[in-house]
Amino acid sequence: MNVSIIGSGNLAWHLAPALDNTDFMVREVYSPNPSHAEALVEKLYEADVKASLDFSTSDSNIFIIATADSAIQEVAQEIVLPDEAVLVHTSGSQPLSVLGFAATPNIGVFYPLQTFSKEKKMDFAEIPLFLESENAFTEKILVQMAKALTKKVFKITSYERKALHVSAVFASNFTNHMLLIAQDIMKQNSLSYDWLKPLIAEMITKSLAIGPENAQTGPARRGDLKTLDKHIEFLQGDPALVDLYKMISQHILDHYQE
């Protein structure tokens, strides 16, 4: 089957070439910024830049909206599709119903659970894909496309996907922001962030091996209030960071005191 991609951001940058190496070849790329679409097309075998959202004469069977969440509904309303087209979005937070006004009954979700950056190559064989569909016809096609990329294919509801996405924000985005805070504190005190890297690597490895419940350490886990107070005193120059430190520490204290 042929695929058209709407969007040229981080996910599209990885998903389009991955599909191009399967039986689901990407033939068209549309982006509000044509130069971004051209850059992505250069990574593909036989794709062309699409100038508009009018795909009425397209040879593609599957149309993947890989845009910012805020643009999905507008694209779904404006896109013109050929008969029997399958239209999907790739968002973790948006429900299937956001495609409800599209001019096709064959709508679905094709959500890869991973963080994507253009600079870092990704292996889709290691990425779990979560699917949702409006009908059996769409489900069959999405399962085939997903299994062409990875064996880790799961069918879930919009509600379950929202829970998954919230969990992913805590596990990935918030964790990374904590690392940024640690990096800033080290830099402000003329210390090397590299010194923390073995600790960070061991924390992640241990948490995955024995579970976060058992891997938790630190003064809040021990109920060491004197050390917590010393840390809060150290951070007094940044009230927002004091509040954040107190809130997270209290959450840990409350959890393990239960």
What are the angstrom distances between the C-alpha of 26 and each of 6, 84, 99, 176, 255? 11, 18, 21, 33, 48
Q: Residues 139-194: pLDDT tens digits?
A: 999 999 999 999 999 999 999 999 999 999 999 999 999 999 999 999 999 999 99
Q: Are residues 106 and 170 in the same domain?
A: no
| Amino acid sitting at position 191 | L
Of 160, 187, 98, 90, the C-alpha closest to 129 is: 90
Q: Are residues 12 and 57 in the same domain?
A: yes
CB 96 within 8 A of CB 159: no
Query: Phi, psi at residue 160, to the nearest 5°?
Result: -65, -35
Of 258, 256, 178, the C-alpha closest to 222 is: 256
Q: Are residues 195 and 149 in the same domain?
A: no
Q: Are residues 149 and 170 in the same domain?
A: no
Q: Are residues 22 and 150 in the same domain?
A: yes
Total domains present in the chain: 2
Q: pLDDT above 90 covers what percent of the chain? A: 93
CB 168 within 8 A of CB 113: yes
Q: Are residues 148 and 166 in the same domain?
A: no
| Amino acid sitting at position 6 | I
Higher pLDDT, 229 or 257: 229
Instruction: Give the CATH number of the domain where residue 127 resides.
Output: 3.40.50.720
Q: Are residues 181 and 125 in the same domain?
A: no
Instruction: Give the CATH number of the domain where residue 219 resides.
Output: 1.10.1040.20
Domain ranges, residue 99: 2-156
Q: Would the pTM count as exceeding 0.85?
A: yes
Q: Are residues 71 and 55 in the same domain?
A: yes
- The contacts of residue 103 (CB under 8 Å, 6+ apart) are 79, 80, 81
Domain boundary among 121, 137, 156: 156
Q: Are residues 71 and 117 in the same domain?
A: yes
Q: Are residues 152 and 250 in the same domain?
A: no
Query: Phi, psi at residue 79, to the nearest 5°?
Result: -65, 140
Q: Residues 11-49: pLDDT tens digits?
A: 999 999 999 999 999 999 999 999 999 999 999 999 999
